[in-house]
Chain A
Amino acid sequence: MLLNVGPQHPSTHGVLRVLVELDGERIVSCRPDIGYLHRGLEKLMESKTYHQCLPLTDRLDYLAGPSNNLGYCLAVERLFGIEAPPRAQAVRVIMAELARIASHLFWLGTHAHDLGAMTPLFYAFRERERIMDLFELAAGSRLFPCYFRIGGLAADLPEGFGSAAKALAADMPGRTMQYERLLTDNPIWRARTKGVGRMSVAEVLDWSWSGPLARGSGLAWDIRKSNPYSGYEQYEFDVPVGEEGDTFDRYRVRMEEMRQSARIIAQALENLPGGEVNVFDPRISLPPKERVYTDIEALIHHFLIIEEGIKPPKGEVYMSIESPKGEMGFYIVSDGTARPYRVKNRAPSFINLQALPRLAEGRLLSDLIALIGTIDIVLADVDR
């Protein structure tokens, strides 16, 4: 029997359509049909200035806007050959790790819900809501904060952010234990996840898996450790890995990652450097707004950065970061003008999803739901 799972199925997490061929309840073949959310973002970026591209990156993996922003900003900064000031780097780490926790919480709630556990969703969203509040406090926007700028931040952290973030970081380990108590030893949960979707390290490499998926199979690869960026080398944290490479191990890895992220946030807040949050270069960073009203120099820079845009030198760059879903990479070609000549985005969801047939074929239809959940896809990131 041929069966359409999606595109309007609640557990496909968006508009994924999976064409499944069934023999009884067993999956003979399965083919993900993607593209329902294709917006041509990469092409769109070619007609935008470098800063105008930034809000578009929020809309890649929309559960972790700051991570996408960070990858893009770092890529453009590398084109310019600049680095954000230390304070901005630390703030970026805080936001990116908050985004990781928020993304994992969303995954946890929906994944558990898909497999029949209703309660974790409410607990997970309780903490995610606090993170959204923190984003709103800093950037004025919750889902798509767009708080970073090329060369730094839109503004320094607001008052009250530090204490609220510290409290959250302190709460997270305990909260994570709460979620684990609901699931880890739950026999249904174990039955639905243990041994389901097993991947060996060799297969992980063959399928270009990255992030928690790769680590769940025991591959201790984390770009924050292997190619540190934004000052990650200054923070102490562990890279959790699984052993079996199944859905349960990937669950364990993500749960531990939330604790590690809270650890990084606490360290970053503790040692937050002072100073400017934007690189000092009038050709890249906007001048302080109040000076724009009084100084012709500031007015001119403001005017030209807004109207014409910043212009990186000719060249190409690839920069990737460890996003909650895996390796989020940006390949940018600059022709020296204010708009990128080409932007290619390595979207982790897109690449991770490719292995779905390999995981699902031969298994029961109900496992497909667990497998889609464990890959943790965001269709906006798959289709772009």
Chain B
Amino acid sequence: MGIKLTINGRRIEARPGQKVLEAATEHGIHIPHLCYHEQVGSIGSCRLCLVEVKPGPPKPVPACTTTVAEGMEVQTHSERVVNLRKELVRLLLMNHPLDCPVCDAAGECKLQQIVHELGITEARYRATPAHAPIDYDSPLIERHPERCINCGRCVVVCERFTGTEGIYFAGRGYDATISAGGGPLSCEFCGSCIGVCPVGALIDKTFKYRARSWELTRHETTCPYCASGCRLELNVSDNAVRRVTSDHEKTFNRGLLCGRGRFGHGFIGSADRLRTPLIRRGGNLREATWDEAIKFAAAGLEKARREHGAASVYALGSPRLTTEAGYLLQKLVRVGFGTNNVDTQARYGYLPALLALAEVFGPPRVEGGRLGGFAARCGTLTDLAAADAVLVVGADIRPELPGASLAVIAAARAEAQVCVANLRPTKLDRFATLKLRYQPGGEIGLLAAVAKALPPPGEGVFWAEGLDEFRAQLGGKSYDGLLQLTSATEADVQRLAAMLAGAARPAIVFGADLLNSGEAAEKVRALADIVLMLREEARIYPLAPKANSLGSIMAGCCPEWLPGFTPLAAGATFFEKKWGVSLSGRPQAGFPEAMSGGGPRALYCVGANPLRGWPGTLAVEEHLGRLEFFLVVQDLFLTETAARADVVLPPASFAAQAGGSFISFEGRRGILAEAAPEPGLPADWQIISRLGAALGCPLNYADAAAIRAEMAALAPLTGLNFEEIRALPRNFSGGRPAVLDLPEGGGGDGGFHLLVAGSLFHSGTLSARAAGPLSVQSEGQVLINPADAHRLGITTEVVLEAGGRKNLTAKARVSNDAPSGLLLAPDHFSGLPIHRLTSGSYLARVKVSKP
């Protein structure tokens, strides 16, 4: 039942607990306000929404903090409150600088709007200027305290939503200011504060003086960085992207972005972008026309097929490709060459994880109108924020998937139990009720111990086949043995098990640190076993590494799965009939194995850069260096791989790939918009389509949507949009716990491990060419624990050796982010080719010494 009240004599019905301001806005009654923000919520600092309430106190009350009550009579525009409102705004204006002509916010400034709306004319007050210095020193964000109206939106969004607490109020009364401790900002530079600042007190340095707000056209599209799939708006003028914003009312991410999303757009207009195709002639890459380049590429691939067989041609997709381009790429390989020689970077962690989940729960499918397979067990960001127990294992979510980290923080703010288990400290540790540490290789033991400690599923819960045997297997293991490589005790594990078993909506989040450090499949099996013993409401959250990791796998960009997660063995006949080719019996080797088997003589890399971001670059380099190897690279930039290519085909960036889509880690399809057209640069799928035509494999489509329609006809699951999938009832039956290959004792040997881990500000090729992220982090450094550094005498440089030719001298930074015995390094920078040390996973054993 609604609460009945009257506003200005109008009878309205509000929801219980609603604030007067919200109820009024919902019914089209406008109450002026400055600090209230639909996303940030009520703050109650500006007092502009003062209304008179009967029955109530004799003085006016703020509408944004007053809860509706039955029979309440509200007056929003009585003479008294209107005068009070005007007086309050005059006080705000007392010290306001005459900056409108040079202020970025002018034209979209809430203070301007309020002054204009209330028709305030004369300046009644004068005050001594506060002379707070402008902060020009912080990267990305410029702070103008003299423009600030102390509404506190930035403080609330920073503290409550992003959990960063980078800024706060300092001083009292007239001297109150927003402070970062007196110096420049040292936060995560997500810019959420800029997004909510009603005035120009916090501004985007990458945007300053580039354009005025009214000159910009906003194009809603999907962020190309991580797999959160945040919707953002590219603000374009003169066909150039000037800044990125996000609408808090229209987007599912409620206007919140991370630093990469907000400031990382610089690569779109980067001077390093390739504008024409390149062909290697006489040893050098030279500019060519599209016709020449396509012909040249097709001839090279054709030659390899003729001389060494179809299996000698391999294609690598990328999680940065649109789903549609991924689909065409695998179709080119499967139909044009009749092989399964297509793979992706997800091979090193995410793909084996999904394959393992499919092994336990079955691949995602819709059967009898119900969502089945592991998709039924996967949760959404909304589910995650509403979870009452969260286990985050092997994930540094904040950099990995900022959107998911906000959901975990929201859950923690709502009093959820949060357990963070990882081999290194992460930001979420602060929100954890239970913190567990383990050494590399300790994950499976830890997870098995949790499974052992879990009570058997309760009444009415689906009972997986083989659960008794599985429990019996665990029963034979001691906690001490299982927990050898961890800091956890039996009591910790019991507590975690009780937390998960006792929760109504448990959530298990796992990501790169778990998956990329080897044995991803086995670790995920262990996690799946835990899920099988929890109630059906338990949800898993496999964090995808890049914007379209899930989409490219769904499109079939891997040897194991045909489009729509159709296992090759099960779906081959169907696809063979549709496509008129023979697929069964073809090898299913992933790229690394294929290389070792003598494999490819020609490689088509679409958005992939296996010479930097893929583990074991030395092996790849060796392979590509073979005589007469033919390499086609399709990329925005002249990457390490592109520099060695025979043909380079430059596609349009995500800002111009209209109609293509990214699939976020939760399965949300984000369609891209044509924000800033890039003449002369086709979309990825168009290049693949032209290459297909030149290779005698016609791939003709009117647009990206036509490709999607074909996919949907072949694999109906891919045609459903996010809301449709989420609305489906779920089928939880069919799981079977995997028997684990449990470690048998053996502690750490005291040697060093190197983990290639992401960075909050970077995400590979794109961000390393964007001025914004570079201004916060400009180069790659190897992070080393202070105690280790002291012991080895390492200060600014470190020598790493991983056996054989695998050695590297790199810049070092001593940091508590690295636990003892573990070095951390990003793989985003060409100056730090860290994958020279790895092979097969992102974790390597290294010898560490000073130079």
Interface residues in chain A, defined as those with a beta carbon under 8 Å from any beta carbon in chain B: 280-283, 287, 293-301, 303-304, 307-308
Contacts and interface: CB of A to CB of B under 8 A. Distances in A.
Nearest to A292: B98
Interface of B: 93, 96-98, 100-101, 106-107, 111-113, 115-117, 119-123, 212, 214
B608 to A, nearest CB: 47
Contacts of B112: 300, 303-304
A293 B117 CA distance: 21
A304 to B, nearest CB: 5
B98 A307 contact: no
B98 A308 contact: no
A296 B98 contact: yes
4 tightest Cβ-Cβ pairs between the two chains A and B? A296-B96, A295-B123, A303-B100, A300-B115
B123 A308 contact: no
A303 B214 CA distance: 12
A294 B117 CA distance: 20
A300 B116 contact: yes
B106 to A, nearest CB: 6
A219 to B, nearest CB: 45
Nearest to A293: B98
A296 B116 contact: no
A281 B111 CA distance: 18
B605 to A, nearest CB: 47
B96 A307 contact: no
13 contacts: A282-B116, A282-B119, A293-B98, A296-B115, A296-B123, A299-B100, A300-B100, A300-B115, A301-B121, A303-B107, A304-B116, A307-B107, A308-B214
Contacts of A299: 98, 100-101
Contacts of B100: 296, 299-300, 303
A295 B107 CA distance: 18
Contact of B107 (A280, A287, A294, A308): A308
A282 B89 CA distance: 15
A297 B98 contact: no
Contacts of B212: 307
Contacts of B96: 296
A301 B123 contact: no
B93 A297 contact: yes
A281 B118 CA distance: 10
A339 to B, nearest CB: 13
A281 B116 CA distance: 10
A113 B116 CA distance: 55
B122 A295 contact: yes
B410 to A, nearest CB: 36
Given A282-B116, A296-B96, A301-B116, A307 B214 contact: yes
A295 B122 CA distance: 8
Contacts of B111: 300
Contacts of B97: 296
Nearest to A310: B116
A7 B833 CA distance: 76
Given A282-B119, A296-B100, 5 more contacts: A281-B119, A297-B120, A297-B121, A297-B123, A301-B115
Contacts of B115: 296-297, 300-301
A337 to B, nearest CB: 13
Contacts of A282: 116, 119-121
Contact of B93 (A287, A296, A303, A307): A296
A294 B96 CA distance: 11
Contacts of B117: 283
Contacts of B113: 304
Contacts of A304: 112-113, 116
B87 to A, nearest CB: 13
Interface centre among B96, B106, B121 (most CB of A within 10 A): B121
A148 to B, nearest CB: 22
A169 to B, nearest CB: 37
Contacts of A293: 98
Max chain A Cβ within 10 angstroms of own Cβ: one of B113, B115, B120:
B115
Given A283-B116, A303-B112, A304-B112, A297 B107 contact: no
A301 B117 CA distance: 10
Contacts of B106: 303, 307
Contacts of B98: 293-294, 296, 299
Contacts of A283: 116-117, 119
A137 B122 CA distance: 31
Contacts of B120: 282, 297
A308 B117 CA distance: 13
A57 B61 CA distance: 49
Contacts of B121: 280, 282, 287, 297-298, 301
A125 B324 CA distance: 73
A48 to B, nearest CB: 14
Nearest to B120: A297
Contacts of A280: 121
A222 to B, nearest CB: 38
Most buried by B among A282, A283, A300: A300
Nearest to B103: A303
A246 B107 CA distance: 58
Q: Which of B113, B122, B214 has the most CB of A within 10 A?
A: B122
A303 B102 CA distance: 11
A287 B101 CA distance: 16
Contacts of A297: 93, 115, 120-123
Which residue, A281, A282, A293, has most C-beta atoms of chain B within 10 A? A282
Chain B CB within 10 Å — which of A281, A283, A287, A303 has the most?
Answer: A303
Contacts of B107: 303, 307-308
B101 to A, nearest CB: 7
Nearest to B117: A283
A260 to B, nearest CB: 41
A296 B113 CA distance: 13
Contacts of B214: 307-308
A233 B112 CA distance: 41
Nearest to B214: A307
Contacts of A307: 106-107, 212, 214
A296 B95 CA distance: 9
Contacts of B93: 296-297
A51 to B, nearest CB: 15
Contacts of A295: 122-123
A232 to B, nearest CB: 30
A282 B117 CA distance: 9
A378 B214 CA distance: 37
A244 to B, nearest CB: 56
A297 B119 CA distance: 9
A293 to B, nearest CB: 7
B101 A303 contact: yes
Nearest to B115: A300
Nearest to A305: B116
A304 B214 CA distance: 11
A283 B116 CA distance: 6
Contacts of B122: 295, 297
A280 B115 CA distance: 15
Contacts of B101: 299, 303
A324 to B, nearest CB: 37
Nearest to B212: A307
Nearest to B213: A307
Contacts of A301: 115-116, 121
A303 B99 CA distance: 11
A151 to B, nearest CB: 13
A304 B119 CA distance: 12
A308 B93 CA distance: 21
B28 to A, nearest CB: 13
Contacts of B119: 281-283
A294 B93 CA distance: 12
Nearest to B106: A303
B797 to A, nearest CB: 53
Among B93, B116, B214: residue with most chain A CB under 10 A: B116
B564 to A, nearest CB: 46
A176 to B, nearest CB: 47
A285 to B, nearest CB: 10
